[in-house]
């Protein structure tokens, strides 16, 4: 029997796969589990987007393989949206490329920039492909803990000089999964300055930029000088409940984006053109995004109130569709997750499962606000009946 690669055997189990396994076991026993685990929206994709998809299937019936970098219509729509939203100008011909969602693009970026032995700077807790993409290149990850005491920003000034000298890539993710934190302009300027001073590529995962409540997040694109050191990544998955469509984009100055575009030509054959047409329609409308935010706000407020009655002292829900809640005194994230699952039949994610190396998530649990209103109301009732 042929042995799997060292890379595959070195990987930890994907956190969400383990969570699904525990939930599925309860459901096989007939338990009604309310799932706040994996962040997969259950709100339907807007009807006008689905209608455009049906029309586009016929319109693109002879389209063949899509362009690696995306259709002109999609790139123009992204450029126009970025200008409206962030006030930044992107050349749709050279500074935008379509991606098949973001997970694949995030995993692939180190192929464009990272060599064996280089260092990739990774927030912890954070999205697992930041790590696995780096490890696939034989790079070393240096983890930057996102701690409550530092407002869930990484301490860039604390990175050892010998690490900075070997670093090629810094990942940031704001609004942040899982801490829900919105980046301040001061932090974004610090990140841009750090990357400029140390010749590091700043990769900004902005997948949750449109899921906010009171404060509108900004983008790295809005920071002067960022064009010299950064790429930004965004998608339609969360903004328009289009996770299954797998469409997103990466953007940045031509010279910085071109290596990623070259990787794309070797790894896939482009995002389906009719799916890009759906994204063009979604990008042209903001009403459905506002409605979606209000749905998440309603569920967020209900759950925060119940968790407060339970006695939790630190509950964060600044943006994204997550709640990041500190576990009760005397419990770590695993203990609290088990209590919620076994006593209230609520599936959540322990912060420890989202961390690679540090203990920054040790005492936090993440709730993804994806169950509908009725299920959220039931979850609140179960929390209110919990005995600690």
pLDDT, tens digit (0-9, with 9 covering 90-100), for 361-372 = 999 999 999 999
- CA 132, 138, 139, 141 dihedral sign is positive
Which residues pair with residue 324 across a beta bridge?
Answer: 316, 366
- pLDDT of residue 325 exceeding 70: yes
Could you tell me if 318 and 330 are in contact, meaning their C-beta atoms sit under 8 angstroms apart?
no
Listed in order, strand segments (DSSP E) in the chain are 34-35, 96-99, 119-124, 140-145, 167-173, 201-205, 230-235, 248-252, 315-316, 322-326, 346-347, 349-350, 364-368
What is the structure's pLDDT at 137? 95
- Each domain of the chain, given as residue ranges in start order, spans 6-45+288-384, 62-283
**Nearest of 140, 172, 144 to residue 10 by alpha carbon:** 140
Lowest mean pLDDT among 73-82, 193-202, 232-241, 306-315: 306-315
The predicted pLDDT at position 18 comes to 63
Q: What angle do CA 149, 326, 337 make, to 5 degrees?
A: 145
Average pLDDT over residues 372-381: 96
Fold that domain 62-283 belongs to in CATH: 3.40.640
Neighbour-count burial for 305-342, b at 16+ CB within 10 Å, e otherwise:
ebbeebebeebbbbbbbbbbbbbbeebbbeebbebbbe
Alpha-carbon distance of 304 to 296, in angstroms, equals 12
Residue 41: what pLDDT? 85
Give the integer Cα–Cα distance in Å for 257 and 68.
13
Would you state the pLDDT for residue 119? 98
**Taking all residues of the chain, what is their mean pLDDT, rounded to a whole number?**
94
Q: How far is CA 49 from CA 63, 256, 284, 293, 329, in A?
A: 20, 32, 10, 17, 46
Give the CATH number of domain 6-45+288-384: 3.90.1150.10
CB atoms within 10 A of CB 298: 13
Which pLDDT tens digit goes with each residue over 331-359? 999 899 989 998 999 999 999 999 999 99
Kindly tell me the burial class for residue 386, based on how many C-beta atoms sit within 10 Å of its own C-beta (0-12, 13-18, 19 or more).
middle
């Amino acid at each position: 029997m042929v042995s799997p690669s060292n890379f595959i055997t070195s990987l930890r189990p994907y956190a969400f796969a383990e969570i699904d396994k525990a939930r599925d076991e309860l459901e096989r026993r007939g338990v009604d589990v309310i799932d706040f685990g994996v962040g997969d929206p259950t709100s339907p994709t807007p009807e006008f987007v689905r209608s455009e998809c049906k029309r586009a299937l016929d319109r693109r019936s002879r389209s063949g393989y899509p362009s690696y970098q995306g259709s002109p219509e999609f790139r123009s729509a992204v450029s126009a949206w970025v200008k409206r939203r962030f006030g930044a100008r992107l050349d749709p011909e050279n500074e935008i490329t379509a991606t098949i969602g973001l997970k694949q693009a995030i995993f692939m970026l180190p192929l464009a920039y990272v060599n064996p032995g280089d260092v990739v700077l990774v927030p912890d807790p954070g999205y697992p492909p930041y790590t696995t993409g780096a490890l696939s290149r034989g790079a070393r990850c240096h983890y930057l803990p996102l701690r409550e005491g530092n407002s869930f920003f990484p301490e860039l000034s604390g990175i050892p000089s010998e690490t900075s000298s070997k670093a090629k890539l810094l990942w940031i993710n704001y609004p942040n999964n899982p801490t829900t934190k919105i980046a301040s302009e001061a932090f974004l300027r610090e990140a841009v300055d750090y990357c400029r001073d140390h010749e590091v590529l700043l990769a900004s995962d902005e997948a949750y930029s449109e899921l906010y409540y009171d404060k509108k997040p900004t983008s790295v694109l809005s920071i002067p000088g960022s064009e010299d050191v950064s790429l930004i990544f965004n998608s339609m998955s969360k903004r328009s409940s289009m996770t299954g469509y797998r469409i997103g984009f990466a953007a940045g100055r031509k010279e910085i984006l071109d290596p990623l575009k070259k990787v794309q030509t070797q790894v896939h054959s482009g995002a389906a053109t009719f799916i890009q047409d759906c994204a063009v329609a979604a990008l042209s409308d903001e009403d459905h995004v506002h409605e979606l935010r209000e749905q998440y706000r309603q569920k967020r407020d209900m759950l925060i109130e119940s968790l407060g009655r339970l006695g939790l002292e630190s509950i964060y829900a600044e943006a994204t569709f997550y709640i990041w809640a500190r576990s009760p005194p005397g419990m770590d994230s695993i203990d609290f997750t088990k209590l919620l699952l076994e006593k209230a039949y609520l599936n959540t994610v322990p912060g420890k499962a989202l961390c690679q190396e540090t203990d920054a998530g040790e005492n936090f649990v993440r709730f993804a606000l994806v169950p509908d209103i009725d299920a959220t109301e039931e979850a609140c009732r179960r929390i209110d009946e919990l005995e600690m």
